[in-house]
């Protein structure tokens, strides 16, 4: 994946105020994730035959916040390996930590868009919509950036409605890992750990959906995410 060029009309990708130590942290994080990620033994469970249903269409990948380290390597292995033309954008928190994560994503060739339900949410959705028009897939953590853990928030459904793209629920079981004492119990897969990725049946949100339909879609996504998650 090549790193897309910045586009001022679509918003600032990484704040210009990111200091040298933030850039260094992002570079170090990139090195660690490439080193560790190259050893992870990933396999895919696709009980609903979602890969075939996706075909060449753009989609929104929904993955719990505590498993986000698996997003890029699994996308590379199970999607880019089959369709090298695909490109990925991701919503990250509009915060100092989010700025570091955004730079890390750029190193990996992923287009970051800064925003959350609490910061720049509406603008971020508009920016994501602009990337949809350019053919990008999306990755979103439906319970991020601050939880509650494993509780789907409205953002993924709103993005699906605005873009017209279906949501692909995804989760993973990690054999060996370090689990942190953060709000999401963040999981860092150990080197050579087996990571069993699961994807479920897609969730569709009509462009003209009202409050009742959006809530129904949110509940459906919640149920499918829960069914894919063992802990």
**What does pLDDT average to over the chain?**
87
Among candidate residues 201, 57, 71, 205, the one with its CA nearest the CA of residue 136 = 57
The structural domains of the chain, ordered by start, are: 43-228 (3.90.190)
Length of the chain in residues, anyone? Answer: 231
Burial (0-12, 13-18, 19+ Cβ within 10 Å), 112: buried
Tell me what percent of the residues of the chain surpass a pLDDT of 90: 65
Among candidate residues 221, 144, 53, the one with its CA nearest the CA of residue 229 = 221
Give 43-98 pLDDT, tens digit per residue: 999 999 999 999 999 999 999 999 999 999 999 999 999 999 999 999 887 777 77
Give 5-52 pLDDT, tens digit per residue: 444 444 434 444 567 677 888 888 788 888 889 999 999 999 999 999
């Amino acid at each position: 994946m090549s790193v897309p060029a910045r586009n001022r009309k679509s918003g600032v990708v990484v704040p210009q105020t990111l200091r040298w130590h933030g850039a260094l942290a992002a570079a170090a994080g990139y090195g660690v994730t490439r080193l560790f990620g190259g050893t992870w033994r990933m396999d895919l469970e696709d009980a609903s035959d979602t890969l075939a249903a996706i075909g060449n269409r753009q989609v929104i990948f929904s993955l719990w916040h505590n498993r986000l380290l698996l997003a890029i390597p699994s996308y590379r292995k199970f999607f880019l390996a089959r369709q090298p033309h695909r490109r990925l954008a991701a919503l990250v928190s509009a915060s100092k930590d989010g700025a570091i994560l955004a730079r890390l994503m750029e190193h990996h060739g992923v287009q970051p868009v800064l925003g959350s339900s609490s910061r720049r949410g509406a603008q971020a959705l508009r920016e994501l919509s602009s990337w949809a028009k350019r053919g990008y897939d999306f990755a979103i953590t439906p319970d991020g950036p601050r939880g509650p853990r494993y509780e789907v928030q409205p953002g993924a459904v709103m993005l699906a409605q605005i873009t017209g793209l279906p949501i692909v629920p995804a989760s993973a079981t990690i054999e060996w890992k370090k689990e942190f004492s953060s709000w999401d119990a963040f999981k860092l897969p150990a080197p050579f750990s087996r990571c069993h990725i699961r994807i479920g049946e897609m969730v569709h949100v009509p462009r003209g959906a009202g409050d009742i339909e959006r809530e129904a879609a949110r509940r459906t996504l919640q149920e499918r995410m829960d069914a894919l998650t063992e802990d």
